[in-house]
Structure 1
């Protein structure tokens, strides 16, 4: 039997030639440095219900060949970013990219039933009898291969190319692992052999750096403290409620007034709401307002793609020009042939604060006009129907650009 852990509580096990995925219950994965009688125990969930590991068998073309397993943490350009599970039979290596639920095992190097060690690319290479696998931190797999009573160590790079890096070893191997110092450890029935091959250990076993001075708590920052203050609400310190949709946000009057001209004017006097303890923002996007608050308190915000436009509109409404410009710049940076017409129509309907964005979108559309027509012709038809003046402007601009291009001699 061979077993490898790939993270997130997932194990892969070779069991009688079959490959099984074992997913541990989430409550088993929590680590707590101190003993806690209330902490979940393996086998028992938070509500007392029994929790068990879920075992599934991988579907593969052949089910009786699996011998060894290892996991590449980062296989380079040839693999998905999540890495890959490597499975060996006696004479071949198979690979399954992790992070893709639909991925299956595919032949990577060697051939089934064709022995005899031979270096080469992918399926042209040959293995005598694979006895051990070890994944390196360079995205390569190191194979301990036995052929005609001789043991060798062979490297398989992310493309599947096989190269022998040590040969003529006089012992029968059982399995292998790369140590934190880069040595390759090979075990047999009664002995452990260690080879200095200068390998790069996988990142999960690399030696931690030796600290040169005692570790100190991270320095506190004003944005960090204000973010924590916002996350604690309501904690009794807020003196203003802002109602958006069906949710009430508890905020600090002085802070939002200092950060937003909209709130400063509304709360500073001259309006009926000036002394109110509760305000309402009708028609505001709830998720966008939560992002606005994060920006007001911390000066920075991580914005999901779906919220770029709603946040730009709300920032304009709440007199936050910096945030509005940032969202417009992001929209321009992410525009493509299929989305540029919709973005232009949206910007044109927003008014003067979006005029610069509209001009930049027009320029982008003119520069990529032929690509837009080829990939998103329907959107150009929509533009002609909804805003014919803009369509005429683009056509004239394209014709003018074409006329200025130098003609071939």
Structure 2
């Protein structure tokens, strides 16, 4: 036993459900025949019932018995309501557990509250309910404006109806609120006009509305009931069989099935008694240093006096580090270390080179990666091939292939055919793309195909053979058009 009279030990049970109670700053878990408390200090205590004994007895927590605890909710002021085997049970928690000024857990008695005694033990009572009601789910709405008493209301569901118990009035009882007992359906409306198929979960939003999960033959709808009892369907056709629902602190609706958890962003207001903890402020640490990052920064600082080679491209001069470009590019290594006249020079010229493409090459040589604008894909691929950078050349070719379309495919094939062996794989992939999408190509670029047959008849014949070699159903739409293009 702990100092508060509650039994503490390692517990072995399967939690069937649970709830958060802001008044005691604790979570409460539903075991098979018992209710447990999980305090903010990560301590689990037995609140009421017995782990392995079932029954129907009311009374102090240690002597009370439950059948099969299914679901529960907290209504504040240290009060829980539990549904178990067709009954609604009230669990009144010890007043010494109430958090002081909203403080977190009070696992020990409140100072000055007196010795351990009856007030330290939870008390279980059974709530009177209509004879026709077989309760299944429940939730608590704390604020419904003029349609609810100040203390809020407990909402209880059967399979096809909703009941409401105003809290704070000792003489109040459960009354039918929406739907009809024993009459299924999926009809929006107000109060008794509404119909529900099979209510599988209830959750209270921060706007005073109840959100329910309504299931019909494995398809789920989410329906809202406002404080006046008006029922509105806000989502439907969800292909899942739900058995529980709750609204998370961020307002997302979590729906549990037998095997999975589904989270939906329906724009719901979050519960009022749960708030996300503030993000702890941490000092901003400098980003971790990396070799590619440092070398990229070195390139951006040029000229800073550390470069020992100038490369002139068009009207621009690039200041680079001889050892680095020689190590990263076979072209520069052969040029600077192979006995050529330029080997000892401090200034090189690259004729017939696009300065923008060369700037991208330098970025790749220094950092190992580069973002390529669409307009520079072809110039960069050509220059990478020329400077013996096969990896960069393949990356640029892959970018071109990914962006090709019916209007541009012929031009891309003509360009790749003229580039030489380094582009043979790209040309083969472009041919395959053209054959796969030939009908679209004919519709968008027939003139280009005619130009292709005139400029490169062997390539046109190769495409024609490839097209005729495909299954008949796939080529029957356009063989004559292709033959015309080849013949022209």
Provide the TM-score with structure 2 as the length reference.
Answer: 0.42
Q: Which has more radius of gyration? A: 2
- Structure 1 length-normalised TM: 0.50
